[in-house]
Amino acid sequence: MTDTPTDFSALPLAEATLANLAQLGYHQMTPIQAASLPAALAGQDLIAQAQTGSGKTAAFALALLAKLNPRWFAVQALVLCPTRELADQVSAEIRRLARAQDNVKVVTLCGGVPLRGQRASLENGAHIVVGTPGRVMDHLERGSLSLADMGTLVLDEADRMLDMGFMDDIRTVVRQCPPTRQTLLFSATYPDGIAKLAQDFLREPVRIEVKAQAAQVTIEQRFYEITRPQRLEVVAKLLLHFRPASTLAFCNTKQQCKDLVDYLQQQGIGALALYGELEQRERDQVLAQFANRSCAVLVATDVASRGLDIDQLEAVINVDITPDPEVHVHRVGRTGRAGASGLALSLATLNDMGRVGAIEVYQKMSSIWYGLDTLTPASTAPLLAPMVTLQILGGRKEKIRAGDVLGALTNTEGGPAYTREQIGKIQITEFCTFVAVERSVAHAACAKLNAGRVKGKSVKVRIV
Ligand code: AMP
């Protein structure tokens, strides 16, 4: 790895692309980019083993963008993702990287939204489609999407897609892609199903494996031995001791998630649960709150947290040790992104020691144990997220843009003008808008928005 150039300028990329990368702050390639981009840009098929946070999205996005002709109105690349959240993130990253080229159109196709709007977007001309296999298949069946001119196929988080039962859908979609296409397969793990998929659909692929190093070195793993009844209490102790601003805690079942959230809330710790059976609307709301830093702790099952990509995750807590060492590494790899250090805390009962052993073997690393007596609250203050989410009833349908919301908060109508620093992430969905504001001004900002106007209209706003 040491003699692989890590400068983007070593790649055959357009000047404008290089300038855009510099502007985005991408100064050096990440290991997965350095290992995969030369082959991908040369048109070869690829199997790349990479985790979320490794920079894998840019690795395939740069490759497909380099080949793309924006003046040709046809779908030239398709990216299949396991979840809507991941598809949204991938689309956003592709759009960022495409800023250097003129007018590249990216359309996201996922379930849970009416087909009609998506059909209209496709009719308006799309160069790149990012979507989940089921919905992409729907469009193919209805004839609203054609892959006949497509040059690059990306299977992102292929192992997750297989776990989620998308194998047949993927096969159906891939059969409609031209045989001459380039295929780039990204997967965090390499189970048999992936090998089979690669054998069937890839041509002499270059296999790239970048050990989860970038993440691993900056993540500190600590193990705590507990008895089962101590579990909830110890999680609260860990949170109050380390006081991470943003934590993802994994439980094995929905009921455990709910119990832990109830307990943490009683202890003055802001927590929300994320599990499979949530309605899309509830799930969106939970994810928006966690992503914009108005929820300190997200308690989730593995399945529910798939595709979830949150920057700045200070800590991961394994409330239950998973029987699958790969899942453990995947969980742990969610903290410590982009060079920041992360904390991975695992609770194990005596019965879990076999699982811990399997993890040690898999990680080739022995566990470091800490006593519960090392946990002393750093402060007795409640552990609340720095921001609070306001929900505006009105979204993309009402043509609300982030600038409108920002304007309504920073003007002097109906209440004090807020500074840009007091306002956090603004997320606009189909029917509503989420805006994060500093906790101390939440009530006043909510009243101000209710009293004032957004995009010239009065709106209903509530604290989530
Ligand atoms: P990913 O693994 O694709 O989810 O990327 C993780 C994060 O790293 C994203 O926020 C990217 O914007 C960022 N990123 C990707 N490539 C680079 C790079 N070469 N330098 C700095 N940040 C990067």
Write a three-state SS string for the chain.
Answer: CCCCCCEHHHCCCCHHHHHHHHHHCCCECCHHHHHHHHHHHCCCCEEEECCCCCCHHHHHHHHHHHHCCCCCCCCCEEEECCCHHHHHHHHHHHHHHHCCCCCCCEEEECCCCCHHHHHHHHHCCCCEEEECHHHHHHHHHHCCCCCCCCCEEEECCHHHHHHCCCHHHHHHHHHCCCCCCEEEEEECCCCHHHHHHHHHHCCCCEEEECCCHHHHHHEEEEEEECCHHHHHHHHHHHHHHHCCCCEEEECCCHHHHHHHHHHHHHCCECEEEECCCCCHHHHHHHHHHHHCCCCCEEEECHHHHCCCCCCCCCEEEECCCCCCHHHHHHHHCCCCHHHCCEEEEEEECHHHHHHHHHHHHHHCCCCCEECHHHCCCCCCCCECCCEEEEEEECCHHHCCCHHHHHHHHHCCCCCCCCCHHHEEEEEECCCEEEEEEEHHHHHHHHHHHHHCEECCEECCEEEC
Residue 308 has pLDDT above 80, yes or no: no
Residue 339 has pLDDT above 60, yes or no: no
Query: Residue with the nearest Cα to atom 6 of ligand 1?
Result: 53
Q: Select, from the ranges 71-75, 244-248, 364-368, the one with the highest average predicted confidence (pLDDT).
A: 71-75
Taking the CA of residue 93 as reference, the ligand 1 atom at the shortest distance is: 12
For residue 237 and ligand 1, the question of a CB distance below 6 A is answered with no
pLDDT of residue 90: 93
Distance 258 CA to ligand 1 centre (A): 33
Is pTM beyond 0.75? Reply is no
Q: Which of 1-5, 219-223, 291-295 has the lowest mean pLDDT?
A: 1-5
Q: What does the mean pLDDT of the chain come to?
A: 90
For residue 57 and ligand 1, the question of a CB distance below 6 A is answered with yes
Domain limits of the chain? 8-209, 219-374, 387-463
CATH topology of domain 219-374: Rossmann fold (3.40.50)
CATH topology of domain 387-463: Alpha-Beta Plaits (3.30.70)
Taking the CA of residue 54 as reference, the ligand 1 atom at the shortest distance is: 2
Mean pLDDT in residue range 174-198? 93
For residue 309 and ligand 1, the question of a CB distance below 6 A is answered with yes
CATH topology of domain 8-209: Rossmann fold (3.40.50)
For residue 56 and ligand 1, the question of a CB distance below 6 A is answered with yes
Taking the CA of residue 51 as reference, the ligand 1 atom at the shortest distance is: 2
Q: Comparing 8-209 with 387-463, is the CATH topology the same?
A: no
For residue 338 and ligand 1, the question of a CB distance below 6 A is answered with yes
Task: Out of 30, 90, 308, give the residue to mutate to test ligand 1, the one with the largest number of ligand atoms within 8 Å of its CB.
Answer: 30
